[in-house]
Structure 1
Amino acid sequence: MRRVEHVMGFPVSLRVDDERVPAGAADAVFAWLREVDERFSPFRPDSEVSRLDRGGIGPGEVSADLAEVLARCEEYRVATGGAFDVRLPGRGLDPCAVVKGWSVQRAADLLRAAGVRRFCLNAGGDVVAAGGPWRVGVRHPERADRLCTVLEITDGAVATSALYERGAHILDGRTGLPATGLRSLTVVAPTLTEADGTATAAFALGRAGVAWAAARPDCEVFAVDEEGKVLRTPGLPVATAAAA
């Protein structure tokens, strides 16, 4: 079964390779992601995030889901010394860097709970996979038609932060300026919650973010710095054919 929808501002594709797909499993995935977009988008004036930002609700009145997201945002802010920050001066509250990975991981958990065993869920290039091996390409930061490497994932997640899709959109919270030092940074982790948040936070740190991300539990890293040098951890699950 294959299905693609445009949700939260990017394409989300679901592929399930089980012989039998539980009824309603895919519907539940996309319904959840649409719900997340309505509740947590900073671009929707009626979302919970927007209402919190303008004082319509207090910090003690947020949902358990938003409280979880904001707690993870704060964890990354503290861990990076403020390089990652969802409350930058002059800007509204924007937890999208954590919401994306968190919500797509939750969608993957819905699939597992429904009994789906072999699937690949790709949300704008960030991937959760189960029942592999699955091969996930890491795009070249300068050439859209080339890959830097191909990863082999059995059960886990891959997320990339880079300049090639949205330009210098990741800011260093310590300066308020675009992060520098890296062209792209990819993290492999057990969950997309961890992979996506770590990739963004590490990119905000600049070149020092490579070592920072590599030091986090169960994270492997592939990065290209601003000079084109490739940096990667020894445990990176590179596909055999790609390594050859």
Structure 2
Amino acid sequence: MMLERIGASTPLAFPDPSQQICVFSDASDVGYAIVVTQVADWKNDLPIHEQQHLLLVCKGEMFRDSQANWSIVEKEAFPVVQACTTLEYLLQRANGFRLYCDHANLIAIFAPDKELKKHVKAKLQRWVMRLTGYIYTIEHIPGANNLWTDIVSRWWHVRDGSQSVKKINFVRTRSAQEISQLRPLEDSAFDWPSNESLADAQQRHVRSAPPDHTVVDGLVCVEGKPWIPAATKRLLARLLVVAHAGSPRTSRRTGNAERNE
């Protein structure tokens, strides 16, 4: 069985500098393909699919991560740039190479005699610059004649007729932070500190009270001032807000003065 498969496979040829190199590219929704051939006896009067090709390279990969979200033109352009990046040893030739793709828009983007258009995305502009060191011509090929690259680009989609590629987006969420108000005292939900709330907090943390404390009108005092337990963070915050903004009467008077101005 293994020998039969080896015998039925297409052999790879050795690159010949005197022969014409042809690069075929294609992309599907899930992957891309690159096929490189050489033609020993190039005939200008024959279409590309009737030339006698010898296979040099046949490769393809899936689009991964953010690549899966690319636009169609980006997916179609990527294998062209990938070929010029990974196959430089093969494509840097004195007589150049012929590039074939079935996406008509790529002709205007990668044509060596065309200037870069302003509407072309920055990513495509960088990709176009990658080809500036090569001698090549680019031509459109009908999809029906670009069969092998089309098959390889879709090879990853369905292996046995039942499996398919599923895309899952991972999203990390976090709870929205509450926006602090400019005037907290004007918030109807603001909990004003009182003797009752202070006495309740002192009772819950009475074991941490200083040994020299006294009790005045039901409140634990130190040196004649109410003792605020260090563990009562929310109570301390409310007291600091009131100390900064002033009493309710002062706050209202200040607000009225600002509005009168």
Q: Judging by fraction of residues, say which structure has more strand.
A: 1
Larger helix proportion of the pair: 2
Q: TM-score, normalised by structure 2?
A: 0.21
Task: Select the structure of larger CA radius of gyration.
Answer: 2
